[in-house]
Chain A
Amino acid sequence: MTTVIPFGPQHPVLPEPVSLKLEIDNDVVVGALPSLGYVHRGLEKFIDTKDYNQTTYICERICGICSALHGITYTKAVEKLFDAEIPERAEYIRVIVGELNRLHSHLLWLGLFADGFGFESLFYECWKYREEVLDVAERITGNRVIHSISKVGGVSRDLTKENIDMLLKMCDSLEPKIKDIEKVFVNNYTVKQRLVGLATMSKQLAYEAGTAGPTLRGSGNAIDVRETADWDIYKDLGFKTAVAKEGDCYGRTKVRIDELYESIKLIRNAISKLPNGDIATPIKGFPTGEAIMRTEQPRGEVVYYVKGNGTKNLERLKVRTPTFANIPSLLLMLPGVRLADVPIVVLTIDPCISCTER
């Protein structure tokens, strides 16, 4: 006989409200039913009252953790409507801020995850390192969480010599620290006991379920929008997709740790190739037509669809966020998992509910 128990919307491991109705047999999950809608804010409709420049700031507020990449993706989508040529320097600055965003998001996730399986000191360790990244981001962009760096036509702040030194110093100091925590996440006996073999998804299943981001790559699919989509700059920077074959919680953790190194490498390469020149081009007129832009956020691929109708307001803005794509895979992962492991499995897709519900 099965019992249905609610998981969330308020749960210690969940920073945001999502509710799962878990059908359990003894203490093994046999089915799960999600219900969403607790933090719906109607942001896609809200843009009706703002012009396309102001919408950038709304998009950044879709999510607090990946805010810079929301802003960047939106502005790039609108630039497509204008067919605008963006200065190279601006694109490089976008990449740098985007990767800082990924660094702090992954460190945040690693910390939360460690907390999820009860490793408190590891949690504090990760968050301590995250502070360094946030401080640098604050000094580069002026804002700590919502960076507001990207605007339609370029970026709003230039990188100074001082900023660049600071970034390089941060990269140098962060790398050995990540190595330290990597050892714990990858080799520690207790951690492995909790993670290895938990909620395994095969390569095929992860692909067919339409998962995105580290959840997809943790199952051995080398698919990263930074490599495949139409933002070429990552190819010039020598980006390589991080993959793990395991397909379980352990594999997904490994992918995220590898991506930390990858982000540091991208920041270093972007700084070494940083071209001189303008940081923004003026954009005149009102957008017409439709455009789609995809970028890789810390949680996976985000898709922005914008439609302009020749007025200052956009006619339609549609955002497909990575967590929205990952929730179905969560429902596939959960059956067979024991109730005590459900929090870890939920965390392993790095759910961002505010993104999903907008």
Chain B
Amino acid sequence: MMGMLNLVLTNISRKPATRLYPFEIREPFKEFKGRIVFDPGNCILCGICQKKCPPDAITVTKADKMWEINLFRCIMCTECVVGCPKDCLSISNERVKTGAKETVKVVVPIVDKPKAPKAASK
């Protein structure tokens, strides 16, 4: 019995273990997988990221030069980050905010038309 009483009494004098969310928000850990960041600079619209993505969060439309991600569908598995041949995708530790825009559309500026690699057609 004494063990629990000690715990309870020390807890009374301690500050709470919880935070007063939403006034006090813990900074996300730097290792945290928060969201996918797309850098359109090198993208060749090969579509590998779309094929690798388990929940089909990424849509690549070659005709419109459009790269699209649905952040609410993304499960942060980082398959696309590993799979991208041009290293366009990276992980940021920033959280996707509640009520944030669901999809992010990026028009990819392809300047000189590079040929899509063979692997993409598989």
Q: Which residues of A contact B (CB under 8 A)?
A: 50, 53-54, 57-58, 121-122, 124-125, 128, 131, 135, 138-140, 142-143, 146, 148, 156, 180, 183-184, 187-190
Contact = CB atoms under 8 A, between A and B. Distances in A.
Given A58-B54, A142-B91, A184 B4 contact: yes
A18 to B, nearest CB: 27
A333 to B, nearest CB: 27
Nearest to A146: B75
Query: Main SS of chain A's interface residues?
Result: helix
B30 to A, nearest CB: 8
B4 A122 contact: yes
A140 B33 CA distance: 11
Contacts of B82: 156
A178 to B, nearest CB: 12
B76 to A, nearest CB: 6
Contacts of B20: none
Nearest to B8: A121
Given A139-B29, A142-B33, A188 B77 contact: no
A187 B79 CA distance: 49
A121 B4 contact: yes
A121 B7 contact: yes
Given A122-B4, A124-B17, 10 more contacts: A50-B54, A57-B77, A121-B7, A121-B8, A138-B29, A143-B76, A148-B75, A156-B78, A184-B7, A187-B3
A146 B76 CA distance: 10
A136 B13 CA distance: 26
Given A57-B54, A188-B4, A139 B75 contact: no
Contact of B76 (A50, A148, A188): A148
Contacts of A135: 29
A53 B80 CA distance: 12
A91 B4 CA distance: 39
Nearest to B26: A135
Contact of B17 (A128, A139, A184): A128
8 contacts: A54-B52, A54-B54, A58-B54, A121-B11, A128-B17, A143-B33, A156-B78, A188-B3
Contact of A140 (B1, B31, B75, B77): B31
A188 B75 CA distance: 43
A131 B17 contact: yes
Interface string B49-74: 00010110000000000000000000
Nearest to A156: B78
Contacts of A187: 3
A66 B17 CA distance: 25
A58 B17 CA distance: 33
Contacts of B77: 57, 148
The winner among A142, A143, A190 for most chain B CB atoms within 10 A is A142
Nearest to B29: A139
Contacts of B33: 142-143
A54 B75 CA distance: 11
Contacts of A124: 17
B72 to A, nearest CB: 15
A138 B93 CA distance: 12
Interface string B4-38: 10011001000001000000000001011100000
Nearest to B17: A128
A127 to B, nearest CB: 9
Contacts of A189: 1
Contacts of A184: 3-4, 7
